[in-house]
Structures are given as structure tokens and as C-alpha cells.
Structure 1
Amino acid sequence: MKALLTVFTSILVAGCSVIGENNLETAPYTVVKSTSGDHKIEVRQYAPMILVSTNMSGEVGKSAFRRLFKYITGANEGASKIAMTAPVIMDQENTGKGAEIAMTAPVFMDENSSTPVMSFVMPKDFTLANTPKPTNPEVRVSEVTEYKVAAIRFSWTLSDSNVQKHTEILEKWITENGYVASDSPVKAGYNSPFTLPMFRRNEVLIPIR
């Protein structure tokens, strides 16, 4: 599933501490299977998710992140104001009027397709029908269903070497446990850039069947 592939770690939210705690809502999922030991691995079935997405451009996707951030802080068509679940750093250029939408972790970023895409996950009470329409034509709304993954959790950074190491561990586990990968690996980060590396929650997720 090409719309979901990697998580942009620079979430830029206030309310995130240097030890990794934050008040952000997390995309809901059910744990189907889990392991213990040196590596924490889970098989997860995610609930249906509403995504707002945009093509990535600029250094490390900063332009895409800015467009999506503006969307959740007002660059949308909305008649009512939606309460924020966590305070965020407001962009001074965001002068559009509209609903303010809670920021949810993680932020997905597809780096492997021909046109890289970044996506924010909307809070769980959002549907295709009630999600405010973006005022920027470069931002679009979609729904993801039946998203089942194997996930491995680790700390420190989402460096290429750290991601590759845990991807290989997860791919081996998937094969040994009778699953088949159905799409490319996903990187996931849940903390602000201010969180100390040893306290960060990072993940690699691989869609499976």
C-alpha cells in the first residue's frame, strides 16, 4: 500500500518532552501477536484511517510537512473549530480560516514510490464525510482500510543504518513466522526532534498478509 510508507520524525509539537512523553493521539490498532526478548515485534491490525496527503518536495520533505501542518491549523474548509489534543508551534504564515484539527502520531511519508508522498493521520473520529476539505489543491484526503503490519520497535535515531538493521531483523521474523510481506517497509517516528535519542520511539513496519 503505497500511500503509507514512512514517518517524518520532525513533528514539531509542543508538549513533547526530552524523555519522549507527549499528549498526541496515536493511530489506533489491535495487537494480533507480540514477542518479547531482545526485539519487541508486533503484528498489528490498524483501524481504518483518514489521511491528508501531499507530494513531497524540498529538503527532507519540509515543504510537504509545512503544507500538511497548515492544513491541520486552519488551511481547510470548516464551519466549526476542532479542539487541539496537544499545543503545536503555529506557523506565522498560516492566516487562513478554518477548523483547527488535532495532530495525531505518526506522520507517514512514502519515499519509495515514483512520487514520494507524506501523510498525516486524522483523529479517529474523522471520516471521509466529515474531514474538512483542504483549501490547498496540493493537499488531498483519502481513507486506508485493512492495514495489517508487522512492526519492530527501537530507540535512538531513524538513521539509514539503524533502520536497515531492524528491517532485516523484522524481515527474517516475518519469514520464520509464516507471513508474507505485501508492500515496502515503513519507517515510523513518534517524537519531536527535541527528544533525547535514547528515549525515542522509532519503528519499522512492513505490511503483511
Structure 2
Amino acid sequence: MKRSTRLWFLLVSIAALLVPGRATESPQYTVVHTESEFEIRLYRSTAWMSAPSDKISFEKATKHGFHRLFQYIQGANLNSTRLRMTKPVVTTFVPGAGALHSSAYYVRFYLQTKFQVSPPVPLPELDLVSDKWAPCCVAVRKFSGFARDGNMVKEAEKLALSLSRSSWANSTNFDSTNAYSIAQYDSPFKLFERVNEVWVDVTGSEETGCGSSSVEAY
């Protein structure tokens, strides 16, 4: 592991894990459907801080975006306000959204509850954007280990296959070449029983609350 990567991992761990007596906040949701290989979640309206990245790989984009977001929560905003680390760190892959129709990545931090309505304004040089997501339904596949360039596409393909074989097959056009997100929950120093997820938006029946899903892709 390169020294720069180890330093980035260390910053994640300090921010997310080594603050005693503080619970780490996450976006709230309700599970509306469960199958053996995935579940459907209904998320409440949420606010995020997003870092666009033109890096060519998932790992490089996540590192690049995280570094700017970490500066933001450490006080690089117009109020010099320090925010708590939340989880998961979400990296969204969007085909064709970059320059010359290249792929783009967006790295996101969920904003803690006290800043959901009015988050501190980031310093302009960080190139961050505040995202407001309406209530939405998301298909989620969990996977273990470390999220890497080598396995993120494979995990997305597994989710696409599972959805195509389920009663939700007509609820999304997801085929692993569409926009999807990788959510990472654990410190990089945690070697076993790690939790990562693939997220993709879906629609469904009004009974589940997913009749008009409007998750933001980017």
C-alpha cells in the first residue's frame, strides 16, 4: 500500500472512529422489500455534500473527493464550522457525465442532522456542491472486503442480474452500465467482516412507497 494511500486511510479512521462517545450518523431508511441477494430501501429526504471528480478510476476518484470533503468538515467552509464524520462514504459512478462524454464520479458525505437544512458553505476552491435528495427507493446489494476498481463493476453486475430475475425487474433499467453508487461503511483498518454496498435507484408499487422514486443520480 502506497504511503499516500495509508495517510488517507488514517485520516478516515481518525475522523470516523476515534471520537469517543459520539455515534456516527447515517441516512435513515425503511426496508420495504427483502430477497436473498438484495433489499429495497426507502430513504427519507437527505442532504449531502458532493465532490465531483474527473479521475479515471473509482479508487482515485474516491481518494480525490474524500480529501476535499475531509477539509470541508474540518472547517474549510465560510463559517469555519467543524462537522462530524458520517457514514457511509458514497462514490457514484455516472457514465457519460464527464468531459467528452467520459465517465464521472461524485464522492458524497451525508450531512449530520443539525446541518441537513442549512449546511455550511464550502470554500470555493474545494469545488463542492450541496445535494438535496428527495425521498427515494434504492436497491442495495451488500458485499464484503475492500471496494476496489477490480470488484465494483462485478458487484454492480451481480445486483443487475439479481434485479432482472426478481419481481423488481421492471422497476429499473439498471444493467451495470447505468449510474450506480458504492457505499463504504468501515475504517480501512478493519480487515474482516467489512460492509460495502452497491446502490441503484428503483421504482415500484405505491404500497411500498416507491411509486415515484426520484433518487438523484448525480
Structure-2-length-normalised TM-score: 0.68
**RMSD in angstroms over aligned alpha carbons?**
2.7
- Structure 2 equivalent of residue 100 of structure 1: 82
| Offset, 1:195 | 1.1
Once residues 73 and 150 of structure 2 are traced to their aligned partners in structure 1, the CA distance between those partners, rounded to angstroms, is: 33
- Structure 2 equivalent of residue 32 of structure 1: 32
1:192 has 2:174 as partner: no
Once residues 52 and 168 of structure 2 are traced to their aligned partners in structure 1, the CA distance between those partners, rounded to angstroms, is: 35
| Offset, 1:206 | 1.4
What amino acid sits opposite 1:208 in the alignment?
V
Q: 1:161 to 1:66 in 2, by over 3 A?
A: closer
1:46 has 2:43 as partner: yes
Gaps of 5+ in 1: 1-8, 79-97
- Structure 2 equivalent of residue 178 of structure 1: 168
Give 4+ residue runs of structure 1 displaced > 6 Å after superposition: none
1:75 has 2:76 as partner: yes
Alignment of 1:50-129 (within 5 A): 50-57=47-54, 60-61=60-61, 62-78=63-79, 98-112=80-94, 113-114=97-98, 115-128=104-117
Once residues 199 and 118 of structure 1 are traced to their aligned partners in structure 2, the CA distance between those partners, rounded to angstroms, is: 23
SS at match of 1:119: strand
- Residue by residue over 1:51-86, the C-alpha shift from the partner in whole angstroms, topping out at 9 and shown as x without a partner, is 1122215671333222111111101133xxxxxxxx
SS at match of 1:64: helix
1:140 has 2:134 as partner: no
Give the number of the structure with larger relative contact order, counting CA–CA contacts within 8 Å between residues 6 or more apart. 1
- Residue by residue over 1:133-164, the C-alpha shift from the partner in whole angstroms, topping out at 9 and shown as x without a partner, is 11235122120113211101121122345434
Q: 1:170 to 1:55 in 2, by over 3 A?
A: closer
Count matched residues: 173
SS at match of 2:109: strand
SS at match of 2:124: coil
| Offset, 1:47 | 1.2
Q: 1:63 to 1:167 in 2, by over 3 A?
A: closer
Structure-1-length-normalised TM-score: 0.71
Q: 1:110 to 1:205 in 2, by over 3 A?
A: closer
SS at match of 1:25: coil
Once residues 64 and 160 of structure 1 are traced to their aligned partners in structure 2, the CA distance between those partners, rounded to angstroms, is: 16
Gaps of 5+ in 2: 1-7, 99-103, 204-218
Q: 1:34 to 1:189 in 2, by over 3 A?
A: same
Cα pair 2:46 2:135 within 8 Å, conserved: no
Q: 1:142 to 1:185 in 2, by over 3 A?
A: closer
SS at match of 2:66: helix
Once residues 63 and 171 of structure 1 are traced to their aligned partners in structure 2, the CA distance between those partners, rounded to angstroms, is: 28
